Structure 1
Amino acid sequence: MKPVLVIQNDAKEGAGQLATLIAERGLQQDTVLGFDTDYDHLDPADYSALVVLGGAQSAYETEAYPYLARQMALCQEFMDAGKPIAGFCLGAQILARALGGEVVPGAQKEIGWYDLQLTAEGAHDAILGAHPKTLLAYHFHGDRIESVPGAVNLASSALTEWQLFRHGANVYGFQYHAEVDAPLVEVMCRNNADYMAANGFDAEAIIGASGEHLPAFAKASKEALQRWLDLVAPD
């Protein structure tokens, strides 16, 4: 099977448990830094699926970060080729914009553990069959997705209506961080501790709370990610 292409938008923050699940299936992962790669040589024909990870950038800051527009174009190319896509946080926002959606600054930052609620459509989605209708989930974002034309909204939180969406049968945008494992939570918080403190969040307190909350969240997310990986077709 062709490798999974992983776009990493922060040098320190990888794909967490999703990377583990991909490896357990014997799939190769080609990971590139979104801000330091040659997009002209990234051809969907060479890959089985696309994963776009999070970062501190905003999806609407394409003038400051021109490579974000290249990622949006790449998402469209993978969709045109019928290849599965999973976007997480910034990656979901990039995917939303590739679909003609809008991403805007949130009224407040959603960092830490907040309830995720499946919509009626989410409760019957193909990758969410074993997912609890309400689940305490891990979040780390200040922007929010306003709309995604042609997509189905699968989950929301009190602060963010579009927490998870599906376009077609195999393209998913996760605003929350379904990909995290314990090491990634620690890296994410400590990598952004000053930013968190400036916005009223305690990095170490959130890491501590994750010891209690992460097992149930990771278990439910693992099942959803496994079912997404089931959509990755052999060559």
Structure 2
Amino acid sequence: MKPHLRVHYFQHIAGEGFGSCEHYLREHKAHITATEFFALPPEQKLDIEALPHVEDIDLLIIMGGTMSVNDEAMYPWLVTEKRWLRRFIALGKPVIGLCLGGQMIANALGAKVSHNPEKEIGWTQVFAVDPYPEQCFKLPKTFEIMQWHGESFSLPKGAILLASNEECVNQAYQIGRNIIGFQFHPEITPNALNLFLEDDEEILRFTGQNAKLKDELTLATLPIEAYRYKMGNDILNRAIDYVLTNQSDMQENIEDDLKWVAHG
């Protein structure tokens, strides 16, 4: 990782922060900035020039959120976010999407995001695809990871599926070697999980009840469960290294693929 890496993240939830990867990136002296979409009034439109210049960012990480990528009427800035994202991708730069972020990348590139057959919330088991595609970002054969989603993405053009489970077919994908989308939350920390658990309305929206679930997930913040957090955090840190190492070697192909997506 080069020194003074310029990392930018899109934040959709107040208080969520940058997750576990912030410590990893700061150890490597990265310069971290953020766009706080949550601070905008819901119905406010956003000019694309209000966002950073794509040339000024070396790595983009798109965080999760409680809204749907389809909620453009309620959150008009989603249109601008996707338009900006297409510009960034067209330059062959590295992008990682986490939960809503993985859906955002897929949708910006023309894939559908819709209700998943089952809502996933809590620690679930995910499996790397078998046989595993060569020269792709390597995931463990099986791992437990935090989930918090009711929708899921279809795979955009050129994407390679990396992981799946019975509840959600598309759990992780990559496009080229510089774009990775996760449906789960590898960045989760005990503090971030507690933030999720404080939102009773959000839990009820997913489950229709909250007392039992909150008890179960609160136990998962104990030190004995530290291996689960470490597994996800290691996956994300390695993903960062992977996309940075392999960026921009396929810019022309990406630009060709983007011609069939809405112009940005």
Same fold (TM > 0.5): yes
**C-alpha distance 122-79 of structure 1, shift in aligned 2 (>3 A):** farther
Larger of the two Rg values belongs to structure: 2
The AA in structure 1 aligned to 2:13 is D
> Equivalent of 1:232, from 244, 256, 262?
244
**Percentage identity across aligned positions?**
26
Taking the aligned partners of 1:57 and 1:222, their CA distance within structure 2 comes to 24
Counterparts of residues 135-146 of structure 1 (less than 5 Å): 135-146=143-154
Q: Does 1:7 align with 2:10?
A: yes
The AA in structure 2 aligned to 1:25 is H
Maintained 8 Å contact 2:128/2:142: yes
Residue matched to 1:116: 126
Q: Which runs of 5+ in 2 are unaligned?
A: 41-45, 248-264
Considering only aligned residues, what root-mean-square deviation do their CA atoms show, in Å? 2.2
The AA in structure 2 aligned to 1:166 is Q
> Equivalent of 2:34, from 31, 34, 55?
31
Tell which deviates more after alignment, 193-202 or 158-167.
193-202
Shift of 1:224: 2.6
**C-alpha distance 170-205 of structure 1, shift in aligned 2 (>3 A):** same
Q: Does 1:21 align with 2:24?
A: yes
The AA in structure 2 aligned to 1:152 is I
Residue matched to 2:260: none
Maintained 8 Å contact 1:136/1:213: no
Taking the aligned partners of 1:3 and 1:69, their CA distance within structure 2 comes to 24
Taking the aligned partners of 1:136 and 1:63, their CA distance within structure 2 comes to 35
User: Partner of 1:147: helix, strand, or coil?
Assistant: coil
Residue matched to 1:151: 159
Residue matched to 1:174: 182
> Equivalent of 1:56, from 46, 52, 66?
66
Shift of 1:26: 0.7
Q: Which runs of 5+ in 1 are unaligned?
A: none
Shift of 1:212: 6.6
Q: Does 1:161 align with 2:172?
A: no
Taking the aligned partners of 2:219 and 2:127, their CA distance within structure 1 comes to 23
Residue matched to 2:57: 47
Taking the aligned partners of 1:216 and 1:38, their CA distance within structure 2 comes to 43
Residue matched to 1:216: 227
Q: Deviations over 1:141-172 (max 9, x none)?
A: 01111332210111112111111110111101
**C-alpha distance 122-204 of structure 1, shift in aligned 2 (>3 A):** farther
Maintained 8 Å contact 2:96/2:240: no
Maintained 8 Å contact 1:122/1:155: no
> Equivalent of 2:105, from 95, 112, 119?
95
Shift of 1:13: 1.1
Residue matched to 2:257: none
User: Partner of 1:16: helix, strand, or coil?
Assistant: coil
Maintained 8 Å contact 1:18/1:225: yes
Q: Does 1:197 align with 2:204?
A: yes
How many residues are treated as equivalent by the alignment?
231
Taking the aligned partners of 1:164 and 1:214, their CA distance within structure 2 comes to 23
Counterparts of residues 69-84 of structure 1 (less than 5 Å): 69-84=79-94
Taking the aligned partners of 1:221 and 1:124, their CA distance within structure 2 comes to 22
